[in-house]
Amino acid sequence: MLEESRKNLAENIFKIAESGGSARQQLQYYFDYSLKEFDEGKSICPPGSLILNFEGLPEEVKKQNLLLLNYILDWITKVLRTGLEQGEFNFSDPVEVRAELVVETLMGARLLSSIQGRKTLVRSISLIKSDLGWKD
């Protein structure tokens, strides 16, 4: 499942990157992807679904989970770096730290949304955008 998720995400990321989308368009794709998955009943993202019992998982499952999580973090780091360089975003902390915060916020928001509803995820996405200096 994790390997398939990574492959699907990689295909979709490649498509949007190849389309010449701006950093904001690429990050918006990730937000839309998260909302779509939530709307399809997947309230917890694939890497987040295994965190509670991570230490008890087989090594191959841990490896695949970390590969997926690192793939997402690497991609978001690249998108944020590009957006910062092109003036689409405005923040001062290191790009890697900001990428982790984006992923952590979305993972937590998706989990809370399973209890509190979609509005929690939408609000978190809005706060991430504001925190990045995203101006519509």
Over residues 44-82, the pLDDT tens digits come to: 666 555 566 667 767 877 777 778 788 889 989 999 999
The pTM assigned to this predicted structure is 0.82
Domains of the chain (ranges; CATH) run 2-131 (1.10.357.10)
Residue 3 CA to residue 64 CA, distance in Å, equals: 6
For residue 41, which phi and psi values (nearest 5 degrees)? 90, 5
Question: Of 75 and 42, which is predicted with more confidence?
Answer: 75
Cβ-based neighbours of 108, under 8 Å, separated by 6 or more: 124
Cβ-based neighbours of 45, under 8 Å, separated by 6 or more: 34, 37, 106, 107, 110
- Report DSSP state, residue 100: H
Tens of pLDDT along 97-117? 999 999 999 988 988 898 999
Question: How does residue 18 score in pLDDT terms, banded at 50, 70 and 90?
Answer: low
